[in-house]
Amino acid sequence: MLRALTVDRSVMHVDVAGEALASQSGVAAFDIDERRFSKLIAFVAGSFVSEAGAVAAIPGAGYGAYDRFFEAKGFFNALVGCNTWTAAALREAGLRSGAWTPLPQSLRLSLKLYN
């Protein structure tokens, strides 16, 4: 909690998801063309710390068998975290969002209002 209130190194939490995820409440789906999808993929890929194009999982970091944490570029805190990163990634893909979306609810509302 203290690190979130100050500044800490960023990590990427990666989990397996599939078509079943799209049918869950709270999950929004957007249609984007191939060019915008490529920009989104490039944004995400560019967020990982990599050496010679390879990313490595942080040993022992994960919640279960199918997820991992990876070193990421940058820093986070309580004001700039995963939801603001997600909004920036979606803006890269051509979707609109509010300038600051620190909570899941603010990101969801912002995407609903602008898209």
Structural domain containing residue 45:
2-114
CA–CA separation, 107 and 55 (whole Å):
28
DSSP lists the bridge partners of residue 68 as 14
Q: How many domains does the chain have?
A: 1
Nearest to 57 by CA among 44, 36, 75, 72: 72
Angle at 91 between CA 31 and CA 26, to 5 degrees: 60
Please give the pLDDT value at position 6. 74
Rounded to two decimals, the pTM is 0.85
* pLDDT tens-digit readout, 72-113: 999 988 888 999 999 999 999 999 999 899 999 999 999 999
| C-alpha to C-alpha distances, 26 to 22, 29, 62, 105, nearest whole angstrom | 9, 10, 23, 9
pLDDT of residue 114 exceeding 80: yes
Q: Which pairs from 83-89 meet CB under 8 Å and 24+ separation?
A: 83/107, 85/10, 85/47, 88/43, 89/40, 89/43, 89/44, 89/47
> Is there a contact between 56 and 72 (Cβ–Cβ < 8 Å)?
no
* pLDDT tens-digit readout, 40-76: 999 999 999 998 878 988 999 999 999 999 999 999 8
